[in-house]
Chains A and B, each alone.
Chain A
Amino acid sequence: MTPGAPLDVQRIRADFPILTRQVNGHTLTYLDNAATSQKPRQVIESLVDYYERYNSNVHRGVHTLSIEATEAYEEARGKVQRFINAPSPESVIWTRNTSESLNLVAYSWGEANVGAGDEIVTTAMEHHSDIVPWQQLAMREGATLKIIPETETGRLDMEQAASLITERTKIVAATHMSNVLGTVNDIKALADAAHKVGAVMLVDGAQSVPHMPVDVQALDCDFMAFSAHKMLGPTGIGVLYGRPEILEVMPPWMFGGDMILEVSYEDASWNDLPYRFEAGTPNIADAIATGVAVDYLSALGMDNVWAHEQQVTAYALGKFAGLDGFNLLGPREVEDKGAVISFSHDSVHSHDLGTALDQLGIAIRTGHHCAMPLIRSHGIVSAARASFYIYNTEAEVDILVDGLIEAESYFSKAGIL
């Protein structure tokens, strides 16, 4: 164990039942954490506990089960609030995932605030979820989308950012950490630039919130979107943080039960925050389980989580530096880089690599990673990606690298090198 990274990885691994699974005759080596993380026993058990003991609808009954479910649901919101240091529980809105959170902003805030001639600034390293909603908004409103480019070392070009963010800019939307390059962006600097021209700062936190300490007030961002399933929680639930003053005046974008205050046959008025943005019966069980996931991460300490991942990533970068034929995307050093290593091979396509690794029980992601423009800008159509989390070890990096060497030699014998 290195100082500053006191994660007891073997103990952590014991909490994840899936990690003992056999795949094609090998113990699973799970390196697809940027797509979704595995779930600890505690999270899985909280789902069973909810359905077995107190399953009930929230905010509408006076009976015991409904009171318990409502309390647990709101308590989970409070846990998320503290986890990202949001100023109030009302500034934490439950959604389905990052994508829905981003769409919520693009529809509700976007249609009210972006008009013809306005500009939306985003970056070259966004996930499709943080490009397409803005493209569509720009098309609907006659606004322009501008892209902050990537530098040669895989970082955001902050000089270009300074000239792209202008008086016409209404919103700057940037990922905190790229799911392809691993680059961690300087959100505070972008937020300052945005605020200086009166624009709002939106952060795609899908890859940062699970892996590092995130403080929305210190970053001074106005919106932050993330998904529970990438941070030990269940699928089907995500979060939108919004600065309270901004949320307060945003119109609802979905209508129905729970989000109203009063309804007549002619009209309706809207409920308070955060319920105005949570129409219909929410995802109660998964919200509660997200609270348990947050507890698990908080107990480890996000500084420790980050330190552990930096260590594994630095080790992997060192190993890749000695591998011929494999080309890394993004920063080659751990500075400003999270636990994501994307690469392509000179002559073997990433799917062929991925299928070969799967034969060895190694799960990586292959393809365009929902970032087609970025992948294409690197002159390729597909890349392979290994991404690490709290339960991954340097020994697993060795398994990956040995697997890649074995795959390469297989394809070399097959004559396609």
Chain B
Amino acid sequence: MQKGLGDLDELYQEVLLDHYRNPRNTGRLDDPASEVDAVNPFCGDEIHMQLGMDGDTLSRISVTGQGCSISQAAGSLLSELVEGKTSEEARELRELFRGMMMGEELSDDVADRLDDNLALQGVRRFPVRIKCALLSWSALIDALDKAATAE
């Protein structure tokens, strides 16, 4: 028997598909504290991100874009995870997420903190797609930096 597409299930987990079909936090913010466009130069995936800050807390986030299922679902998953966190916490989450994508062992505590974003773990087995999952996280860092200097 030749192998079919079964291994793809690990990549396209239900949580991810759900976020791709129905992306969260896509409403544009009226008065964002910062706003960035991120493009993956290798494939053209685009993420547009807006942050609303309440002091140091990331009170609102908007993520829209164009691209593959991984890049767009990752943006939506990110938005759910970081909303309501401080910028410090959001940066920590980015490090944890990146660690997961780079194949680091995940403690129970880290797995708890990454929550639904764990669904992106399957991307690790498809190395060329890791950059798709990381695109919106680098957009987030740029947006946080921008918000910090804008203050």
Name A residues whose Cβ lies closer than 8 Å to a Cβ of B.
24-26, 349-352, 355-356, 359-360, 366-368, 372, 375, 381-382, 406-407, 410, 414-416
Contact = CB atoms under 8 A, between A and B. Distances in A.
Contact of B20 (A25, A359, A416): A416
Contact of B11 (A24, A355, A372): A355
A26 B3 CA distance: 7
Contact of A359 (B3, B45, B66): B3
B44 A407 contact: no
Contact of A349 (B5, B7, B42, B68): B68
Given A26-B2, A351-B43, A410 B68 contact: no
Given A359-B3, A414-B17, A372 B44 contact: yes
Contact of B8 (A25, A356, A367, A375): A356
B8 A416 contact: no
A368 B5 CA distance: 25
Contact of B126 (A350, A355, A368, A416): A355
B43 A352 contact: no
B72 to A, nearest CB: 8
B57 interface: no
Contacts of A414: 12, 17
A406 B11 CA distance: 16
Interface centre among B20, B43, B126 (most CB of A within 10 A): B43
A416 B42 contact: no
Contacts of A375: 44
Question: Interface SS of chain A: helix, strand, loop or mixed?
Answer: mixed
Contacts of A350: 68
Given A26-B2, A359-B7, A372-B44, A415 B67 contact: no
A351 B20 contact: no
Nearest to A407: B5
B5 A359 contact: yes
A382 B44 contact: yes
Contact of B43 (A356, A360, A368): A368
Across the A-B interface, the 5 shortest Cβ-Cβ residue pairs: A351-B68, A25-B3, A349-B68, A367-B43, A368-B44
Given A367-B44, A410-B5, A416 B132 contact: no
Interface string B1-31: 0111101100110000100110000000000
B69 A382 contact: no
A410 B8 contact: yes
B4 A349 contact: no
B17 A416 contact: yes
